[in-house]
Amino acid sequence: MQVIKGLDNPALKPARRVVADGGFDGMHLGHRAIFETAYQKAHEYKAALTALTFEPAPVEVFSPHDSYNVRLTVAEERGLEQLGVDTLVVADFNEAFQQISAEQYARDYIARRLGSIAVVISESHSWGRHAQADANRIRQLGDKYGFEVQVVPLVTLDGAVVSSTTIRNFLWAGKVQAASRLLGRPYPLYGTTQQGSRRGTPLGFPTINLHVPQAKLVPGPGVYAGVVEAEGLPTPPVPTYRSGWPAAISVGTSPTFDPQGDNRRVEVHLLDIEVDNNCGAAGMMVYFLHRLRDQQAFDTKGQLRSQIQADIDRLRHEFNL
């Protein structure tokens, strides 16, 4: 899959395209429905499938508190390729771009710059400054400038619309399984390793400290079951999601060692394996499977060690290790 940054990038040439257009601030089931429809349309027209999205995502600009994952991760870009996307175009959603009209966007970018023969959007999608064109107006613009517009209905699950806002609230509450249902996959958290306090090693449970981009929402405080993808990790001895290595993930402060501290950490303990210092240096993807327990403060290190051991034993049982 080709990735092109910017609608004015010389690498972007007009072509016979079906374009899936949207903010795509973290791929959930509603977004997948758009890409599945776009794939079918591209197959029907024997056209290239292009994903058009924005950086920063519009939700990050206009409703930052509704944004839980404002940029596509490397794993999600791979997921787009698996959905049949040939080209990912990431438009610069800068102040100038925010001011263009819906008609200018349709004429100059969708029709001329991309060469679109069809565009697939969500029924809640809009174009132009101040969201001036809704789905019906976008259809009219398609008729005017020679491209078909396919509108995909909002996806519902258990009677509720799948939305970034609902997913965000689940994640903040630590309800990663509920969020995963709406995402259609475990919630991914990407980061790089950084030097930690090394408090876990003397306890017998060394951890990797994950530095997470500020734009990425971290689930609420607690201890979680998960799996990890990173260069240098072997294939696990049991089947796991994406063949990631089983892990215990701690999110929060260190209430036992620093009761007044407010420095949030993401610490990862890989089960039954020792890794060198280079593991994850190039980046690490952590997938949250479910929550084990709340974060707790213990009176002694011995109590903390016993609880961590109980957590690890539970995970070994769940992963059949």
Over residues 188-226, the pLDDT tens digits come to 998 888 765 666 676 778 888 898 877 688 999 999 999
Q: Where are the alpha helices (DSSP H) in the chain?
A: 29-45, 58-62, 74-82, 95-98, 102-104, 135-145, 164-172, 176-183, 200-203, 301-319
The answer to whether 47 touches 119, Cβ cutoff 8 Å, is no
More confident residue, 300 or 66: 300
For the segment 46-60, the average pLDDT, to the nearest whole number, is 85
Q: How far apart are CA 213 and CA 124, in angstroms?
A: 28
Separation between Cα atoms, residue 319 and residue 141, nearest integer Å:
53
Contact 101, 131 (CB under 8 A): no
E strand or H helix that includes residue 92:
strand 87-92
All domains of the chain in start order, with CATH = 13-157 (3.40.50.620), 186-319 (2.40.30.30)
- Percentage of the chain beyond pLDDT 90 is 60
Instruction: Return the pLDDT at 280.
Output: 64
Average pLDDT over residues 283-293: 94
- Mean residue pLDDT across the chain: 87
Give the pTM. 0.80
Predicted local confidence at residue 276, as pLDDT: 61
**What local confidence, expressed as pLDDT, does residue 163 receive?**
86
Rounded Cα gap, residues 123 and 113, in angstroms: 24
Question: Is residue 81 within 8 Å of 48, Cβ to Cβ?
Answer: no
N residues, the chain = 321
Q: Would you say 29 and 37 are in contact if contact means Cβ atoms under 8 Å apart?
A: no
Q: What is the pLDDT of residues 165-196, one digit of tens each?
A: 888 889 999 999 999 999 999 999 988 887 65
